[in-house]
Structures are given as C-alpha cells and as structure tokens.
Amino acid sequence: MDRTMTSSADTTTEPALIALDWGTSSLRGFLMDGGARVLAERATAHGIQNLPQPGPAGFDAALAALCGDWLDAHPGLPVVAGGMVGSAQGWVEAPYVATPADATTLADRAARVETASGRPILIAPGVLHDPAGAPPDVMRGEEIQIAGALAENADWARNACIAMPGTHSKWVRVSDGRIAAFSSYMTGELFAVLKTHSLLGRLMPADREASPEDEAAAFAVGIRAAQSAGPGDLPHQLFATRTLGLTGRMPAEALAHYLSGLLIGHELRSGLALLAEMPAGTPLLLIGAPALCSRYGRGLAAFGVTPSAQLGNTAPRGLFQFATAAGLLPIGTAANTMSAP
C-alpha cells in the first residue's frame, strides 16, 4: 500500500520537513516544503501495532521502508512525528500535556528519539483534559490535526467546536488558539464491537449490502431513536437492532445502518449539547475521513445543524505547525506568516 504523489505542480520547491503521522494501524509520511505544502506523501500499514519486527528496531525498519530515500537524500531535513508513536507503547513515550494546549505547548514537551543512523525525530505528546468533578480524558494524534485546522483559519483559532468522528470520536472546544476542553466518544469502537461480538451482529448478513434507500432509511430510524432518547435509554435502544430484524421490520442488511445511526445520533446529541454551551455562532468543524464525515453530516442535518466546514487530513499541516513551534523550521515559513492579519 505504498503510494507516492506530488500534490503541487510546483515541483521546484525545496523540501523543508519530513512529517510522520504514526498511528496504531498505519504510518503516513509527508515530504513538505517551507510553505507547508505537501510535496510527496506515502503510507504503509506499519502502525505501532503492526511493525515489521518487534521492539525499537521495528520502528527503524518501518521508517526506512516508508521513506529511507527521503532521509538519505535530505540528510539535514528535520523529522517530526505525531500520534501513537509517542504513547507508552510507541517508540518513545511523550507524556500527555494538560489543556489548554497548542502547537507551542506540544513542542515544549516533545520527546526525542534517535534513529539507528543517529537522525533525531521529535515526537509530539498527546493532550490530557482533566476537568474538576469529571473523569479525565485523553487524545493522541487529534491535537496535531487540530493544530493543522487552526492554521487554516484565524477565526477558527479564536473560537470553534471541532467534531472528529472515528473509533474514539472527539468533540473539542477551541478557544484563544488552544484546545480548551474535549470529550471522547467510543462510537466507532462500540459499533465494531457490537457488530462483531454481540448478539446484534448475528442477524447482519456478511455477504449482502443494503440498497441506498434501505441504508438511508435505517440510518434515519437510528438517528430519530437517539433524538427521542431519555437518559439511560441507549442500552434499550440497542436491543432494537435485534428486534427490528427478528420481526422483519427492517431488512437484515440494513440493521448495521440502524445501529450506526443510533450510535452516531447519541454522540451528536451529547456533542451538540457541548456546542450549545459555547458562544452563539461558534463554528462547528468536522475533521475526518470523508465517508464518515458525510455520515455525520447527514446525522447533523437531522438535528438541523450544518457544519461550517468539513476538513480532510489536516495532520501534515499540524505537524508543520509543531515543527515550527519547536524551532525546526526557519523564520518566514507558512506557519509564521499565519499570525499576520
């Protein structure tokens, strides 16, 4: 799954940074210029839980396989990384920094590891949110994407709510350019675990897809159920995934879409309550995989909410911000010009 692309027609631009988005199941590398443009991008499945060999050598081997040629061709280029590579199970641990946090906070508390060749890599920490009277929450990787998103629009940096759908979705309150607070939702993992390991998955056929109409209808039924839910109702509403199938009220191949709508609907219900506590007019941004963001967009529409923007992969730009804040890039780069009005 190696792929290389040139994202800009301006191939004369000089490389200025090698940025790594290193998660649990994948490793993405970006060769970037001094204007935060991605010159080339590559990905492998060598996430930290899928390294080519165990132990620290596995990280070195994964890195060499992904972009050994970049490292060789540009021996002076700084290398930065974000994501699970900085967790306790990663290459080196970069402990969580507390909210409020921004790219500067991340850079101040970054961890450093040397590759086998002696080349240093600066690894970003995750973020801990520890509100009074509630359990703490954590993110690792999303803080980089957020830094990238905020670099794109000074208005968002001042005040925004960022929804990041995924295995562990995040709803993030941004204020004064920093991550002020956030909540994680186990939506994606709940869906996968219930579909694969619970009674609810038994009625879902593995070999048939729902028609677009059935899919949309089932998803909408799930969203509506979430909209009508009282506190505590989810464990009951989940069971309907079974009874709707058992009684033939919903086609078997559409049941997973009811489950998806129900779980996303509950996340939206809770997340939008957080948004409602923010200043009127606070923009809502969606960051994530396009197909999933589209699904969230349909759910949000049922709540009468339209996101201000839907962003794709903002990680390279965030890693660029991180590298800049760490002083690894010369003055005059895109990041520094960002703060100009």
Chain residues binding a copy of itself by CB under 8 A are: 128, 130, 135-138, 168, 183-187, 189-190, 193-194, 196-200, 225-226, 229-240, 243-244, 246-247, 249, 263, 265-271, 273
Q: At closest approach, how far in Å is the CB of 265 from a copy of itself?
A: 7
Only one residue has tokens 């540009």, namely: 74
Which CB sits closer to a copy of itself, 73 or 273? 273
Task: Please check whether residue 172 is in contact with residue 102, taking contact to mean a CB–CB distance below 8 angstroms.
Answer: no
159 beta partners: 175
Q: At closest approach, how far in Å is the CB of 232 from a copy of itself?
A: 3
Q: How far apart are alpha carbons 45 and 37 in whole angstroms?
A: 24
Q: At closest approach, how far in Å is the CB of 205 from a copy of itself?
A: 16
Which CB sits closer to a copy of itself, 168 or 173? 168
End-to-end CA distance of the chain: 41
Q: At closest approach, how far in Å is the CB of 158 from a copy of itself?
A: 26
Which CB sits closer to a copy of itself, 122 or 127? 127
Task: Please check whether residue 168 is in contact with residue 186, taking contact to mean a CB–CB distance below 8 angstroms.
Answer: yes
Q: How far apart are alpha carbons 150 and 156 in whole angstroms?
A: 6
Q: At closest approach, how far in Å is the CB of 227 from a copy of itself?
A: 9
Task: Please check whether residue 337 is in contact with residue 154, taking contact to mean a CB–CB distance below 8 angstroms.
Answer: no
Query: Of 72, 52, 50, 70, which Cα lies nearest the Cα of 60?
Result: 52
CA angle 289, 143, 331 (to 5 degrees): 110
- Cα dihedral angle (26, 32, 37, 42), rounded to 10 degrees? -30
Which CB sits closer to a copy of itself, 34 or 126? 126
Which CB sits closer to a copy of itself, 148 or 288? 288
- Cα dihedral angle (12, 14, 15, 17), rounded to 10 degrees? -140
Q: At closest approach, how far in Å is the CB of 110 from a copy of itself?
A: 20
- Whats the size of the chain, residue-wise? 341
Which CB sits closer to a copy of itself, 152 or 189? 189
Query: Of 236, 296, 235, 303, which Cα lies nearest the Cα of 269?
Result: 303
Q: At closest approach, how far in Å is the CB of 273 from a copy of itself?
A: 6
Which CB sits closer to a copy of itself, 73 or 193? 193
What's the maximum distance between 2 C-alpha atoms anywhere in the chain?
Answer: 66
Q: At closest approach, how far in Å is the CB of 7 from a copy of itself?
A: 34
Q: Is 281 helix (H, G, I), strand (E, B) or coil?
A: coil
Identify the helix (H) or strand (E) that includes residue 68.
Answer: helix 56-73
In a 13 Å sphere around the CA of 137, the CA atoms on its Cβ side amount to 23
Which CB sits closer to a copy of itself, 79 or 287? 287
Q: Is 109 helix (H, G, I), strand (E, B) or coil?
A: coil
Which CB sits closer to a copy of itself, 175 or 198? 198
Q: At closest approach, how far in Å is the CB of 297 from a copy of itself?
A: 18
